[in-house]
Amino acid sequence: MAAKKKSKALSEKQGVEKLPSLSQDAAAKIKEKRKQVKEASTITKKLIEGDKTALSQAITLIESTAIKHQAIAKAIIEQCLPYSNNAIRIGITGVPGVGKSTFIESFGKLLITENYKVAVLAVDPSSSVSKGSILGDKTRMEELVKEDHAFIRPSASGSSLGGVARKTREAIILCEAAGFNCILIETVGVGQSETAVHSMTDFFLLLKLAGAGDELQGIKRGIMEMADAIVINKADGDNVKAAKLAKTEFNRALHLYPPKESGWVPKTLTCSAITSEGVDSIFKMLQLYFTEVKENKYFQEKRNQQNKYWFLQTIKETLQRDFFEKPSVKKELELQLNKLQRQETTPFEAAQKILELR
């Protein structure tokens, strides 16, 4: 009887000991959630006050793939949304060597004199081998980076197509919440996939070089028909004549394209980013553009279209990620890849086998 009582007491004691372990797990989760919310609120508060360090920290969090960082990043974006959507967004693209960074520095300095706060989101190409990027835009814009009303953030493109980094869209929201009213997005370079930037900016500026054998390539459909303006850079010294000739050629080419929905007629200008000659003309053209598209209501219409695009794009990316995370899909994927290597199936048959697991 005594042994039975002892066993019952021990059992009750063990039961009591088990309960705290469950409540401790729950308490730990609640504590972690509160910690994340508090951390997000602290960063957001500083960011909204214009703290560049907090802005950099927030962008790092949204670019992180760590689950604990994603939770904080989501909270920051939600808290920043009411303070965004109040800036002009300009995409700047062109072939490597066209002088994008030099142009952005010259143009950014002019914008600051016109009472703009400028954020530059520069996307560096990632190595397909090492996956690394130089991220050297701050060193190339050594004068602009010193300005109080400027913020430069280089990001690696990673595996993203479209010439922009994976989280550039969210970074725009954060920059706007931090009080930057002009966002300049420098893309990787011109290519067939260099189009995502067009779906997140209000104005698309294409930089070109004169006498680089690029005129015929530029006339091809694709990147050029999306451009709201073409700027022939490096129009200085002995290159002035060639730049003027290129301007004429590109003007002719622009007439081959159908009218834009905005009603805006794309312009071709020349400039020298080094001497800043012609940069003021580009600013005046931008003023004219934004006046025109705001009056005819196209500005807001395009923003609505962009929101719809990124809404659908986010669903697509999330479904794709979740699909490939399924254990059954991972197992079948490995099996089909081995079959492909042994040439026992075709890519199409293998894909169909994977898709049957939806």
Domain ranges of the chain: 16-79, 84-299, 307-355
Confidence of residue 204 (pLDDT cuts 50, 70, 90): very high
Q: Residue 267: beta bridge partners?
A: 229
- CA–CA distance, 15 with 220 (Å, rounded to integer): 75
Q: DSSP strand E in 115-244: where?
A: 118-124, 150-156, 182-186, 203-209, 229-233
Roughly how many angstroms between the first and final C-alpha of the chain, as a whole number? Answer: 60
Confidence of residue 224 (pLDDT cuts 50, 70, 90): confident
Check whether 9 has a pLDDT greater than 80.
no
- CA–CA distance, 114 with 96 (Å, rounded to integer): 29
Check the CA dihedral 209-213-215-221 and report its sign: negative
Position with higher pLDDT, 123 vs 349: 349
Q: Residue 116: beta bridge partners?
A: none
Confidence of residue 273 (pLDDT cuts 50, 70, 90): very high
Confidence of residue 5 (pLDDT cuts 50, 70, 90): low
Average per-residue pLDDT in the chain? 82
The predicted pLDDT at position 129 comes to 38
Confidence of residue 26 (pLDDT cuts 50, 70, 90): low
Position with higher pLDDT, 137 vs 219: 137
Q: 163's torsion region: left (phi>0), alpha (psi -120 to 50) or beta?
A: left
The predicted pLDDT at position 255 comes to 79
Main-chain dihedrals φ then ψ at residue 168, nearest 5 degrees: -60, -40
Main-chain dihedrals φ then ψ at residue 273, nearest 5 degrees: -65, -30
Confidence of residue 27 (pLDDT cuts 50, 70, 90): low
pLDDT in tens, 282-321: 999 999 999 999 999 999 999 999 889 888 888 888 898 8
pLDDT mean over 35-45: 83
DSSP 3-state helix, strand, coil percentages of the chain (rounded to 5)? 60, 10, 30
* Interacting residues of 229 by C-beta distance below 8 A, sequence separation 6+: 203, 204, 205, 206, 266, 267, 268, 269, 282, 285, 289
Q: Which two three-digit tokens encode residue 180?
A: 């930057």
Check whether 54 has a pLDDT greater than 70.
yes
List the strands of the sheet with 118-124, edge to edge. 150-156, 118-124, 182-186, 88-93, 203-209, 229-233, 267-270
Superfamily of domain 84-299: P-loop containing nucleotide triphosphate hydrolases (3.40.50.300)
Check whether 345 has a pLDDT greater than 60.
yes
The predicted pLDDT at position 336 comes to 92
pLDDT mean over 57-64: 90
Is the distance from CB of 175 to CB of 50 less than 8 angstroms?
no
User: Per mean pLDDT, which of 1-5, 237-241, 278-282 is the most reliable?
Assistant: 278-282
Check whether 279 has a pLDDT greater than 90.
yes
Check whether 124 has a pLDDT greater than 70.
no
Q: DSSP strand E in 210-354: where?
A: 229-233, 267-270
Is the distance from CB of 110 to CB of 143 less than 8 angstroms?
no
Q: Residue 232: beta bridge partners?
A: 208, 270
Check whether 195 has a pLDDT greater than 50.
yes
pLDDT mean over 81-105: 91
DSSP label at residue 343: T
Strand-pair category, 150-156 with 118-124: parallel
- CA–CA distance, 171 with 54 (Å, rounded to integer): 12
Check whether 193 has a pLDDT greater than 50.
no
- For residue 92, what is the enclosing H or E element? strand 88-93
pLDDT mean over 223-249: 90
- SS3 at position 232: strand
Q: Which two three-digit tokens encode residue 153?
A: 């953030």
The predicted pLDDT at position 311 comes to 87
pLDDT mean over 313-331: 88
Among 145, 70, 152, 122, CA closest to 58:
70
The predicted pLDDT at position 28 comes to 65
- Structural domain 16-79, CATH architecture: Up-down Bundle (1.20)
* Interacting residues of 274 by C-beta distance below 8 A, sequence separation 6+: 102, 106, 234, 236
The predicted pLDDT at position 22 comes to 52
